[in-house]
Structure formats: C-alpha cells, structure tokens
Structure 1
Amino acid sequence: MEKIQINNTDLKIGRINFGGNVFGWTLNEQQSFEILDAFTDAGFNFIDTADTYSWWVNGKGGQSETIIGNWLKQRGNRKDMVIATKVGSETKQHGFDISKKHILKSVDESLQRLQTDYIDLYYTHFDDNKTPVEETLSAYDEIIKAGKVRYIAASNLSPERLVASFDVAEKNNLPKYVALQPHYNLVERANYEKDYLPLVEKHKLSVFPYWALASGFLTGKYRSEADFGKSVRGAGSKKYLNDKGFAVLDALDKVATKHSSKQATVALAWLLAQPNIGAPIVSATSQQQLQTLFDAPKLKLDTEDLALLNSASA
C-alpha cells in the first residue's frame, strides 16, 4: 500500500479517506464495523468524521464518532489509524460555533466518543463568521499543547478567513492549518480551482476533497430523475442532470470502458492525478462499492484520459 505524508506533519496515510458520515445513518454499528474492517484489511488507515454526524438522524449527532470509537476499542488498532474529526458545525441545538468555549467543550466530547486520548487531524468544519480568528487559533493552541489534538485543518472557511488565519498564526506564533477539505470533484471545479488553489499552493496544504463523487452522480447510476430512488441520497444528483453533467458522464463512460474500470474509480483517479490532492473523501455501504474505491489509487490515467475528462468538466 502506497502511503503519502500529510504536508507539514508526520502523518502517513493511504490515498483514500473514508467518510464516516454513513456510520449511524445508512449503516448500523455492525455494518459499520464490517466496512471499517474491510477498509483497513486493504491497507487503508485514514478515517474522516465530525462531531455532528449524523445530526440529521437525531438532531444532535455523535453517532459516527461513537461507532468509530467502539470499533477502535474492540480492534485495539488506534496507533495504526489516522483519525480526523471536526468542530463548529450547526445542529438543531446550536448554530455554527468556533468560539474558544465551544472548541474546548467539543474536543473533550469527541475524545470521549472516539475513546482515544488524541485526535490526529482536527478541522474547523464551518465558520461562524463572527469569532475572531485569534480566538479560534488560541483554542487550538491550547488543545494541541494539552496533547488532545496533533494538527489542525480547515474545511468550509472562506478564502478571506483562511488568509486571515494564516496571517494571525504567523504573527502570533499560533498553530497553522496543514490541510484543506474543500468541495471538489469533476462537476464542481471552479470554486476550488479559482479561489482556493492559490492558497493551497502558497501554504503547501494537503487537500482532501469532500463529495468527491458528487453525491453519487459520478458513479454513473443517476442518469435521470427516475434513478433517484436507488439510494437515500439520490436526489442530490438532480442539479447535475444538465449538459455539463451528461458530458462528464460520457467522458467517464469512455475512460472506464478503456480501462475495464468503473466510473467512480475513474472520477477518483482524476482527483488523485490533480496537484496537492492527498486523499479524496468517499463513503461506501457495501463491499462492492469499497472495491471501486480501492481501485482508484491503482488506476493511472494517461494524458489522453485526463484531457478528455478535463475538457468535459471545464
């Protein structure tokens, strides 16, 4: 298994980041354990979750971290895993919040649910757009010094707040974000490539795109509204049923056929071929889906493949 190092850290990861939003939602605990076992048996070690997953089920979240924590305890493999979780998201009980008070409270709750002494990568999940950047970073400084968190990262921050975070960290000797988790895939390119890529390159951030398969659209199984019933997330593909979306699917079909592969594998391989991309975040609810993910780092797209996909998705 090829592993890469997250920039500015000593964390080494496989090139697929398993998205834990399905734990406690579309997968119960036993099913989650089976998927996690298969994921690690294949040599992968990077799991992504959040303190609020899956809040849409019970209004507050915590199920995903709890399931991962139970699995880590039963398997006794914490030292072999890289665990990322997040803070600051909105639930029915509280709004977006990256205040020091909320971070200090939330990190302890996450550690308890995960049944671990430390979190490898701790994300600012969403920005509340009111807490001073220095306050947020000073909270992270405190929990890093306490050994509760190893490194910090950013997800849904505006480019302006991201810039401010690096400026304040530099001036005040506070922790700097080492990674970015943006919305980026073959049908969602413009925002990341225009607004975030220059910051990624300037600060040498590792990038872990979420919705790497565009809510399942890039698997090729949603080609009309009649297909939405194939999963609980099917309707999320509706916005991609347009000329651009169909052009991307056509390109994926051609490349997948050429390599005797799956559309999802090709879509992930395209991401992995982009500069600065460490490991796309993807979920699976079956062994068959997992294999599609596992095949992505092995698929090396050639110049012709990349040109076809780039043209269709531009």
Structure 2
Amino acid sequence: MSGHDFIAGIPLVLGGNVFGWTSKGDEAFAVLDAFYEAGGRMIDTADVYSAWIPGHKGGESETVLGEWLTSRGVRADMRIHTKTGMLGGAELYESARVLQSLEVSLERLQSDTIDLYYAHKDYPELEIGAIVEAFDGAVRSGKVKALGASNFDAARLGAALDHASATGAEPFTALQNEYNLVARKAYGPDLQKLCTEREIAMLPFFGLASGYLTGKYRTEADFAKSMRGGRAKELSGGNGPQVLAAMDEVAAETGASLSAIALAWLVRQPGIPAPIASARTVEQLRELLEFTQLQLSDDQVARLTPSAG
C-alpha cells in the first residue's frame, strides 16, 4: 500500500476496544452505523480486545466488527486496522505465529485483508530485524496492505525503518502510541521528528486520557464513579488541572465540548492525521465528531499546551 492509503474519510479512527465489552449488540451496531453515516471510514481494533474481562479470551471486538461489516456490506468502504502481539510473549513475533494470528483475526473480521496491521508492542529482547521480517511476511501473504508499530520508541522504530530500507522489507508506515494533552512522553520530540521526516502517520490512542479530558472527572467523587476513574485520577496529577482550566476557557470561547477540543488539539500536532477515540453510545460518538468542525487558533493551541507533559 502506497502512501497513507489506510487513512480515509473524516479524520477520526474509531476505537474498537469497547465493542464486545461495554458496547454490544444493537448498541454497538448503532454506534458503527452512525460513524459510517458521518463519513467515518477507519476503525481500530486488536486481537487482545477484550481479554482483560473475566470470561473473555480476546477477539471479541474483531468478532463484533466482522458481524457489522458483513451485515451492512460496507467492507470495501472501510479501512480496518488491527493489532497482534499482546496475547502472549515474544514468541508471537515468530514469522509463523504472526501469520497464524493474522488468519484468526481475518476469520473474526470476516475479511480477506487487513488494511493496517500493527505490531501491538515492542519486544526489545528481539532483534529488530526479526520483527520487521515477520511482519513483512504478513504483507507478502497478500492479506495485509500496510504495517504499523504500536508502543515503540524512537530508537526501535528508527532501527526498524532502517532495516526495512536496507533489505527491501515492507516498512512500518504508522505509529500508534499514547498521546494526549496530559500524557505526552510516549510521542516526544524525537519520535515527532522521526515520524514527520519519514512520513509515518501517528495515530494516537488514549486521546481523551481515559475520559479525563472530557472534563467529567474533577473530584474524588467523580473518580470513584466508574472503572475509568482510576486511570483518569492518575492523569489528573501534574498539570492536569491546569490543562482542564485552559480547556474550559477554550470551551467558553468556541462553544465546543472538551472532548472536541482535546481531539482538535491532537490533529494540530506534528505527524498526526487522525486520533483514535472510542464511543460506547451514539451520543458519545456525536460529541467526539464535533472536533471535525472545530478550528483552534494558534493562540488557543498555545494556551492548551503545557510546557511539560
């Protein structure tokens, strides 16, 4: 796949982590239908979603997506992104295991191809060339169109790109790391420089900081309300309150929701064509989609961006 052909539609990648978990059945299909009708064409999932739930073993999200894609007849319109590498250890990046994981994901997704296939995490104990070659095999199988790396640092991603260039292997052309207004270490200046220079599309996850940047978690009582509250509380330290205060100001100026402001800030950052964000309900999705109509000024971006994150 040349260029960033796995980028399509409105600049939002719908996160699939909720499907088969907190969003099921008709509710999940309603979100997916609304996303499609709004011009959404990119969905991100993983074979590990949602293995963290008792009774689940991973693949629940891919299964829901496959059922939706088939029932609606829209597979050709969509860019499906999925990942492997979390349901075990470094052995998952053996060439045969990558192909095996790919086949299982394709079966659940009821698809012949994956538009963007990620190495879900790095295994630093492996030679980078071994990882590159294993995922190159997935492309050579004809069942993967493009490759991405998730949770890689600049040194390892750079080494992977260099190895691919030297050997003719398929390079990673996307990066998926955590990045948002209150957690910016996983996509620092070194990675930003690498991605912009090598034309790597950074598609950040946790764009709303586990809900903290929606503004719904501000007090101890708020943090105790849901499962996500614990993670939101972690992110509330440091410059969290400062960021929320700046977001409140911008919300007053623009009339936009804090969710929209957080996502609009992301697409103003180097190398980021679209953020990843999930929605459990149609109402939540509509709130996310506001960001596609929001243009932040340079002054607003500067005020939103703390000096350290």
TM-score scaled to structure 1, two decimals? 0.92
Counterpart code for 1:236: R
Q: Identify if the C-alpha distance between structure 1 residues 29 and 129 changes in structure 2 by more than 3 Å, giving closer, same or farther.
A: farther
Question: Which runs of 5 or more residues in structure 1 are unaligned?
Answer: 1-5
| 2:142 aligned residue | 147
Map of 1:195-214 to 2, 5 A cutoff? 195-214=190-209
Map of 1:1-314 to 2, 5 A cutoff? 8-13=3-8, 14-57=10-53, 58=55, 60-89=57-86, 91=87, 94-96=88-90, 97-311=92-306
Q: CA RMSD in A?
A: 1.7
**Structure-2 separation of matches of 1:164 and 1:240:** 31
Number of aligned pairs? 306
Q: How far does the alpha carbon of each residue in 1:240-297 deviate from its partner, in whole angstroms, 9 at most, with x for none?
A: 2335100000000110111111111111111111222111110111222111111102
2:146 and 2:173 in contact (8 A); partners too? yes
For residue 7 of structure 1, report the CA deviation from its aligned partner. Answer: 7.6
Counterpart code for 2:76: K
For residue 117 of structure 1, report the CA deviation from its aligned partner. Answer: 0.2
Q: How far does the alpha carbon of each residue in 1:71-125 deviate from its partner, in whole angstroms, 9 at most, with x for none?
A: 1110010000000000111x4xx23532212201100000000000000000010
**Structure-1 separation of matches of 2:180 and 2:124:** 26
**Structure-1 separation of matches of 2:12 and 2:210:** 16
For residue 313 of structure 1, report the CA deviation from its aligned partner. Answer: 6.0
Question: Which runs of 5 or more residues in structure 2 are unaligned?
Answer: none
**Structure-2 separation of matches of 1:42 and 1:191:** 30
Q: How far does the alpha carbon of each residue in 1:169-209 deviate from its partner, in whole angstroms, 9 at most, with x for none?
A: 11110010111111111001234123311211221111100
DSSP-derived class of the 2:188 partner: helix
**Structure-1 separation of matches of 2:83 and 2:236:** 31
Identity %: 42
**Structure-2 separation of matches of 1:59 and 1:156:** 23
DSSP-derived class of the 1:26 partner: coil
State which drifts further: 168-177 or 303-312: 303-312
**Structure-2 separation of matches of 1:52 and 1:44:** 23
1:251 and 1:312 in contact (8 A); partners too? no
2:95 and 2:137 in contact (8 A); partners too? no
Counterpart code for 1:68: L
**Structure-2 separation of matches of 1:228 and 1:11:** 36
Counterpart code for 2:100: K
1:7 and 1:206 in contact (8 A); partners too? no
DSSP-derived class of the 1:55 partner: coil
DSSP-derived class of the 1:116 partner: coil
Counterpart code for 1:134: G
2:49 and 2:59 in contact (8 A); partners too? yes
DSSP-derived class of the 1:56 partner: coil
Counterpart code for 2:217: Y
**Structure-2 separation of matches of 1:265 and 1:205:** 24
